[in-house]
């Protein structure tokens, strides 16, 4: 129908146009080309388009050269991050019946804005292994002859399996661990940002997310539960300390120390490098 | 009517004013001029106005010197990016009946804010060829004598045809490919940003957009579908794996590896340069 | 009444306080003063307060030394930019009856947020001449003895007239040109930003604005009109191509090539400098 | 009651814990300490925590060494800035009856977000003297032995009186001057920002604020009033020029040239330094 | 049930895949690896993933080497910051009955966005000691052999007790002190940001927060109360000065000078270092 006819029209026009154009060699030297982006100004914080492609291929090469062990561990981490993002999207955007009936477009916008962008930001900043990211990055490295087909296959399948594995955990995860995972990853990512606005960008989604998901954080509970007690909630100090603060704190320690510090440490730590070097 | 009388008034005032003013040569040396922007402070991340114009002309010269082949391919890419932006605008802003009746201004604002800014950001960061961008950039290069009329004509027509070609595809595109195109372009653009807030800016619109458009992402589905299964949705594991995960993953691979990595690789890759050099 | 009595009280207190204070010479050396902002850290992207004033005076000197011709042309450009901002404010904030009745404060906020900030950002980034800006900048240069009273008068009156002239055009402007002016200025300003987040800041308001104002963009129409045709809108391909795409594209070319590239080129271009040098 | 018992518990725990802990000298050298923030990466745009305190004390020393005259003038400026912020908060957040009844928390959020952050940003960027800022900054300098008690007293009282003085003016201020003060301060602050996103941050609140407060700006009026005339408003050109444009423009000149350029010039200008040097 | 079967499937697939993959040594050299992030571009404001982990471990080592005294004091500060964040979340998000009934997801989003992100940003920027942060940071240092188990135990317990101690204060705190604490911390954090947008990020949450919490600020009261008096509120000047301005100002001095300047000074100040050195 219409698209087909449109397409024919375009192909025909292109054919007519091509002979005319191909005879046009770039007639002028392009010495000033480098002034476009980051040449004259010594402070570009963005790469020029060809440099982005180069960086993409180099990142793919690096990812393809990782060990199966590291790809799987970092794949589990990335899968949990994306899963948490999807969980957040369901908690916020999936819970707006008023918007969904009056303005479905806004409900979709909220669903999109709060959830997966957090998950992908966590994966990109921490260097975790996301299969759909590798589908693109390693393919670029392969196209440039910078990695082999076997490495591409390894990267794609192992990161996919790692991603898959962690999803099952997220679905059945303990609440206190999820919360402290998000607090710890916020602190972890903020350590990678070199500006105040970058640190704010690092912590905004994970921290607002754990509150929105209704998770427990031991330090915030120290304020909220005594506040409730002052206002007459029937909670004894022993209840507060033993039934809430103790288990939540232990869950927070597991989430912070084990899931974040030991997770990334097993992939990036010095200790490991000594074991390899030995 | 009024505007005409206003205009006459202005012309008259200007004529009266001009003789007085033109006799005023700039009386003072301007040694400190360079301190205005980026002079004293060594860290300006913005160009001064004349430098912006220079950068614009140089970018136009560079674009005019591209081959017809590259302009067309990058024009198809840019057209798809703008088309995806328009699709997003229709999905979100075009789907807000509540806003449209009570506050039409807000509905227009949402329509504008979520859609084409994403499309243009993708085009500018990745260096794709948008005809309306070339109308301005190459015109500046032509004005400065940095390119020929034939190159200007080539750039304008080929990028226009490239833009046109891809629109037809977007209209009839496969859902899984659109989604993974957006995920892959988010990762691709983030590779070009050198700050955490820049990476967040790179991924926010494409990722929130694919969710808002209701597209499928294999890794997110790994979480969402088992969650539904746990809650009793009548889906077997085989259904999940074969009817959803397999086709979505294959679509994602096409979107990521082919549309992004091979698309930009064919324009910016090293491999191509070797073929040319050979 | 009350303010007068308050004022008397303050004057009296100040008089009582002054003798005590003026005897207090700064007793301590201030070697570490420079560490406050940008001293120790080599990366300040903000000027210290006295340096801002210096930059303001230097910018005023530069503006005062411009030719009448350039001030007028850049004044016309700035006037159109501010006029477009006011037009946008009327289109969005002025079109929110629901907000205006339930929450007038929010309606004012929307009116303020979307419109003039876009206009002023365009003027500041592109270096156009806004009379109210010059009232401040050139006054500072005059105060510092960096420009003459005649130059101040020239700068104020010519930029004011330039601003005035363009308003009449905006009121009666052709739709396709406004749109492509906004697209082109977005690309133009983005060329001046050296970070991905800066490029996003550059394009967000102009692009969301042209959509919110209901303007036509040839590339977006390539997607939207065939989409409507596929859904059965009674538009023939000839209608689409000849009655919409052709005139919109021509308007876009005028807006991009003439209004932006030639507008700024006439003030900042190299070609002009050669004419002057000859 | 509960808090007291909680507190006793904490003191007791601390006492139990302290002897154990104090015996723990830091056992490991901390050579890599500097890598935490801004060490390895040469581009930190944020200071490390101890450096922030140092910068705070140095800023306090600098403020304590200012002359009474400068502190008072810059105190009047800061007071007006905070007063304008409070005025904006009342205009927007104080004018949302719909929010206040359905969602009081959102009404408080709007009240907080649009108003005082603008005021304090203006004060911090322009280096004006705010008493509550000095309460903290100069106290730090005094603690470090970098200033005397008399200078601390001088800084606190004179800035407080300066802040107090200007409030009375803001309450009874002329509309056209407030508006152009905000336009001029936006341009002034933007001159201090070295990135496009910083310039946007500089102008967003003052410009959106003056519109939200319903103030007059001569250049925007050039567009809005002829637009109304075209639509049939009963305004003659003479009315427009003499009864609106002339008085608003004169008010804008006072606001821009006098309140901003001469205000900051009297504190930071070169001319003054020559007078002092002579 | 389903998750268990999914998990078995994954383990099986991984086992099948592993032998194939582990035989794949990275076949290609990775000389261009460093170009991925911050290599070619000299301006990265973000650390690469392994460098983030290194920075995290180094920060943990530094925290573990702090004295018990400093950890406790900075723990009290951080606890108050998190408590203020929780207080803000309750004041805004906990006070939106309209949202909570129509769109519970949005109410959760508001609850998350305004409150704890402010608290954590304050803690990270000022270098205070948060137990959940230390759970992650010091665990990384311990894993890398950069600190001892005793130091880890010291850091975790003392910061936890410090956090706990301050919560009780926040619950019963004086209003004027909270407000000026937030104003002072805003100024303090802004001193650490080296860009205008960073300064805006520093002040936005604390300043909008104190207004939203309904706190008193002496300088803003100078404007708001006379405004009320002008409009006929039955307040005498003596009432204003003695019953409001005097006590609020004294509370502001305590909050600014004592809680911020002396709090951080006792941990980071030079004076202290001299005492230690003596």
Q: What does the alpha-carbon distance between residue C81 and residue C119 come to, in Å, rounded to a whole number?
A: 5
Predicted confidence band at D13 (pLDDT cuts at 50, 70, 90)?
A: very low
Mean pLDDT across A90-103: 88
Mind telling me how many Å the CA of C234 is from chain B's nearest CA? 18
Q: How many CB atoms lie within 10 A of CB A54?
A: 22
Q: Given an 8 Å threshold on Cβ–Cβ distance, is B3 in contact with C150?
A: no
CB-count burial class (<10 Å; 0-12, 13-18, 19+) for C16: exposed
Predicted confidence band at C148 (pLDDT cuts at 50, 70, 90)?
A: very high
Residues of C in contact with E191 (CB under 8 A): 36-37
Mean pLDDT across E103-121: 86
Cα end-to-end span (Å), chain D = 68
Q: Given an 8 Å threshold on Cβ–Cβ distance, is B194 in contact with E41?
A: yes
Task: Express as a percent the part of chain A with pLDDT over 90.
Answer: 6
Predicted confidence band at A237 (pLDDT cuts at 50, 70, 90)?
A: confident
In the predicted model, is pLDDT for residue A150 greater than 90? Answer: yes
Predicted confidence band at B29 (pLDDT cuts at 50, 70, 90)?
A: very low
Is the distance from CB of C129 to CB of C71 less than 8 angstroms?
Answer: yes
Q: How many CB atoms lie within 10 A of CB D17?
A: 18
Q: What does the alpha-carbon distance between residue D178 and residue D254 come to, in Å, rounded to a whole number?
A: 10
Q: What does the alpha-carbon distance between residue C216 and residue E128 come to, in Å, rounded to a whole number?
A: 53
Q: How many CB atoms lie within 10 A of CB A5?
A: 11
Residues of E in contact with B188 (CB under 8 A): none
Q: Given an 8 Å threshold on Cβ–Cβ distance, is A194 in contact with D1?
A: no
Comparison of pLDDT for C3 and A183, the residue scoring more: A183
Q: What does the alpha-carbon distance between residue E54 and residue D36 come to, in Å, rounded to a whole number?
A: 8
What's the length of chain D? 278
Q: Residues B42-65: pLDDT tens digits? A: 466 777 888 888 888 888 899 999
CA distances to A84, C201, D200 from B207, rounded to whole Å, are 15, 18, 25
Residues of E with CB under 8 A from a CB of C: 191, 194-196, 198-199, 226, 229-230, 237
Among the partner-chain residues D3, D43, D46, the one whose CB lies closest to the CB of A196 is: D46
In the predicted model, is pLDDT for residue E77 greater than 70? Answer: yes
Q: Residues D49-71: pLDDT tens digits? A: 888 888 888 888 999 999 998 89
What is the pLDDT, as a whole number, of residue A173?
Answer: 56
Q: Mean pLDDT of all residues in chain B?
A: 74
In a 3-state reduction of DSSP, which class is residue D46? strand
- Closest residue in B to A86 (Cα–Cα): B220
If you ran DSSP here, which 8-state letter would residue C214 be given?
Answer: T
Mean pLDDT across E5-24: 36
Among the partner-chain residues E191, E195, E226, the one whose CB lies closest to the CB of C45 is: E195
What is the pLDDT, as a whole number, of residue E65?
Answer: 92
CA C11 to chain centroid, in Å, comes to 40
Is the distance from CB of E109 to CB of E89 less than 8 angstroms?
Answer: no
Mean pLDDT across E225-237: 81
**Any idea which of A92-101, C266-275, D264-273 has the lowest mean pLDDT?**
C266-275
Q: Residues C164-206: pLDDT tens digits? A: 887 666 655 566 677 778 888 888 888 778 788 888 888 888 8
Predicted confidence band at E148 (pLDDT cuts at 50, 70, 90)?
A: very high
What DSSP string describes B199-245?
Answer: HHHHHHHHHHHHHHTT---HHHHHHHHHHHHHTT-S--HHIIIIIII
Mind telling me how many Å the CA of A171 is from chain B's nearest CA? 6
Residues of C with CB under 8 A from a CB of E: 1-3, 5-6, 9, 36-38, 41, 43-46
Comparison of pLDDT for B156 and B12, the residue scoring more: B156
Mean pLDDT across E98-115: 88
- Closest residue in C to B170 (Cα–Cα): C223
The phi and psi torsions of C86 (rounded to 5 degrees) equal -65, -35
Contacting residues for A142 by C-beta, under 8 A, at least 6 apart:
A60, A64, A148, A149, A152
Q: Go through the domains of chain E in sequence order and give each one's CATH number.
A: 54-277 (1.20.1080.10)
User: Within chain B, how many helices (H) and strands (E) appear?
Assistant: 15, 0
The residue assigned the tokens 């809005």 is D224
Q: Is the pTM of this model over 0.80?
A: no
What is the pLDDT, as a whole number, of residue A151?
Answer: 92
Q: Residues D134-182: pLDDT tens digits? A: 888 888 888 888 999 999 999 988 988 888 887 666 655 566 677 778 8
Contacting residues for E160 by C-beta, under 8 A, at least 6 apart:
A218, A249, E75, E131
Q: What does the alpha-carbon distance between residue A38 and residue B58 come to, in Å, rounded to a whole number?
A: 12
What is the pLDDT, as a whole number, of residue A183?
Answer: 80
Mean pLDDT across A201-230: 78
CB-count burial class (<10 Å; 0-12, 13-18, 19+) for C124: buried
Of A82, A112, A119, nearest to A94 by C-alpha is A112
Mind telling me how many Å the CA of E194 is from chain C's nearest CA? 4
Chain A: touching chains (3 or more CB pairs < 8 Å): B, C, D, E
**Any idea which of A200-204, B100-104, B229-233 has the lowest mean pLDDT?**
B229-233
Interhelix angle E175-190/D131-143, rounded to 10 degrees, is: 70
What is the pLDDT, as a whole number, of residue D260?
Answer: 75
């Amino acid at each position: 129908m219409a698209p087909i006819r449109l397409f024919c029209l375009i192909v025909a026009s292109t054919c007519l146009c091509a002979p005319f154009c191909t005879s046009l060699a770039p007639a002028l030297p392009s010495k000033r080309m480098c002034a476009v982006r980051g040449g004259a100004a010594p402070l570009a914080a963005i790469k020029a388009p060809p440099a982005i492609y180069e960086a993409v291929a180099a990142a793919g090469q690096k990812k393809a050269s990782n060990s199966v062990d590291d790809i799987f561990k970092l794949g589990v981490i990335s899968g949990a991050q994306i899963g948490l993002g999807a969980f957040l999207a369901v908690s916020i955007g999936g819970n707006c019946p008023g918007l969904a009936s009056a303005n479905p477009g806004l409900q979709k916008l909220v669903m999109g804005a709060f959830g997966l962008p957090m998950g992908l930001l966590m994966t990109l900043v921490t260097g975790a292994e996301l299969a759909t990211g590798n589908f693109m990055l390693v393919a670029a490295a392969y196209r440039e002859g910078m990695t082999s087909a076997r490495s591409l296959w390894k990267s794609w399948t192992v990161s996919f399996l790692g991603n898959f594995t962690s999803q099952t955990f997220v679905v059945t995860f303990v609440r206190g661990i999820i919360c402290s995972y998000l607090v710890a990853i916020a602190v972890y990512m903020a350590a990678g940002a070199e500006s105040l606005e970058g640190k704010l960008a690092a912590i905004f989604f994970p921290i607002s997310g754990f509150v929105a998901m209704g998770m427990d954080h031991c330090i915030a509970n120290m304020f909220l539960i005594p506040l409730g007690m002052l206002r007459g909630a029937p909670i004894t100090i022993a209840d507060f300390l033993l039934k809430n603060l103790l288990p939540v704190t232990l869950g927070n320690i597991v989430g912070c120390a084990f899931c974040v510090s030991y997770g990334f440490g097993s992939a990036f730590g010095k200790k490991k490098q000594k074991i390899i070097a030995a």
